Amino acid sequence: MAEFKLRIRRYDPESGKPPYWDEHTVELEPHRSVLEGLLQAKGTTDGSIGVRCSCRAAICGSCGVRINGRPGLACHTHLDDAQYRAKDGVIEVEPMGNMPVIKDLIVDMDAVHWKKVQRVTPWLINKEPVPEREYIVPRESMIDVTQSMACIQCGACVSDCLTLEVDPLFVGPAALAKTYRFVGDPRDAAHEQRLKDLAEDPHGIYSCTHCFQCIEACPKGVAPMSQIMRLRRIAGSDFAINDRNNGYRHEHAYVENIRRNGLLHEADLLPDSYGGKFHPRAVPALLSSLPAISKALLRRKVTPAKALLHPHKAPDGVKRIYDIVEGRDERIELNLYITGTDEDNAEPVVAS
């Protein structure tokens, strides 16, 4: 047995009082979970602590909280580990971010997370005609969607999503990972409609800023950002969906920019994304970016010479990479979630 100090963020919106920190000392074996610590504090010293849990085995997704500033499952975080990572030896537990607090550590998942999941039609729209018996699905296809199927809907990725912080309407990492679960499933009849819907939505697949936070946050290795990038690749490359948000053209401009310069030449990126400096679509975008451009010039993050000249030329090595990738008959999608090979007849192993 050892003593652990928990600093819990308390808040009751109905009380009219601001949030505050509340400390409790619990005595448990070090390998016990933060959830067990919270439940001991609730059971022995303060029954009013609001905390949600169910399975206590990292499978129901109920106990999502922030521990020492990072999102995670309280039932899947050992007390000794949490204490080691705490800045002053006191384990800090707060409610998840980007969702309103109902009480203490309980957030309103309905208001944000579930609403977004409902937005993406989270069920299979089956192909017709319905076979007399089961649909036969290639094994590789099911392996391909295993990663997105591993989601337990805990909301940790939603809590940490940087885009959601500035754009609450963003469909978000969990709902978009859920979308891949159906777009990657050959039994689903609505791949193109799903992708077109989320490409044309100004808060859809092209709103993700590629920040990796959801990959870091996810306790189940779903890697929502990777699923979003796969949705983009399928939307752009397989269905040629040229969306009104300029997402597809922006990605294309990015690829061409690196092909030309070897390094990203940012000054060209925006005009190229809109069809070139003098394209009618580019003018309003350039004008609206003037405040950001002026700030960058004032802070010497960019100089007029750097912006107008092309200091880099792509070396031959970069061109060779493009030739190899574009010379392939099929796009290679790496699913790093599954390891193992067919050759030795080994069953695929799901990485933990």
Residue 170 tokens read as 């963003």
The item of ligand FES, ligand SF4, none sharing an interface with residue 86, based on CB under 5 to 8 Å by kind, is none
CB of 332 to ligand SF4, least distance (A): 22
Beta bridge partners of 94: 66
Binding mask 164-203 for ligand SF4 (x = CB under 6 A): ---------xx--x--------------------------
Closer CB to ligand FES, residue 51 or residue 120? Answer: 51
The item of ligand FES, ligand SF4, none sharing an interface with residue 117, based on CB under 5 to 8 Å by kind, is none
Contact 33, 51 (CB under 8 A): no
Contact 198, 234 (CB under 8 A): no
Answer yes or no whether residue 208 interacts with ligand SF4 by CB under 6 A.
yes
* CA 351 remoteness from chain centre: 19
User: What letter would DSSP give residue 13?
Assistant: G
Amino acid letter for position 126: N
Answer yes or no whether residue 37 interacts with ligand FES by CB under 6 A.
no
Beta bridge partners of 103: 106
Query: Around 81, how many Cα atoms within 13 Å sit in the side-chain half-sphere?
Result: 11
Closer CB to ligand FES, residue 76 or residue 203? Answer: 76
Answer yes or no whether residue 246 interacts with ligand SF4 by CB under 6 A.
no
- Other beta carbons less than 10 A from residue 115's beta carbon: 13
Q: Residues in contact with ligand FES, total (CB under 6 A)?
A: 12
Closer CB to ligand FES, residue 65 or residue 228? Answer: 65
Please give the Cα distance from 201 to 172 (Å, whole number): 12
- Binding to ligand FES, residues 38-67 (CB under 6 A): 53-56, 58-63
The item of ligand FES, ligand SF4, none sharing an interface with residue 214, based on CB under 5 to 8 Å by kind, is ligand SF4
Closer CB to ligand FES, residue 51 or residue 234? Answer: 51
Query: Rounded to the nearest 5 degrees, what angle is found at the Cα of 272, between the Cα atoms of 267 and 278?
Result: 95
Query: Rounded to the nearest 5 degrees, what angle is found at the Cα of 191, between the Cα atoms of 248 and 352?
Result: 90
| Residue for token pair 């002053």 | 88
Closer CB to ligand FES, residue 220 or residue 265? Answer: 220
| Residue (of 119, 226, 113) closest to 164 by Cα position | 113
CB of 180 to ligand SF4, least distance (A): 11
Contact 31, 80 (CB under 8 A): yes
CB of 61 to ligand SF4, least distance (A): 6
- Binding to ligand SF4, residues 89-108 (CB under 6 A): none
- Other beta carbons less than 10 A from residue 268's beta carbon: 18
Q: What is the largest CA-CA distance in the chain?
A: 71
CB of 152 to ligand SF4, least distance (A): 5
Which one among 73, 177, 217, 225 touches ligand FES, defined by CB under 6 A?
73
Which one among 111, 166, 211, 336 touches ligand SF4, defined by CB under 6 A?
211
Closer CB to ligand FES, residue 104 or residue 201? Answer: 104
| Residue (of 63, 69, 105) closest to 85 by Cα position | 69
| Residue (of 241, 257, 252) closest to 204 by Cα position | 241
Binding positions for ligand FES, rule: CB under 6 A: 53-56, 58-63, 73, 75
Binding positions for ligand SF4, rule: CB under 6 A: 151-157, 161-163, 173-174, 177, 208-214, 217-218, 220, 222, 224-225, 228
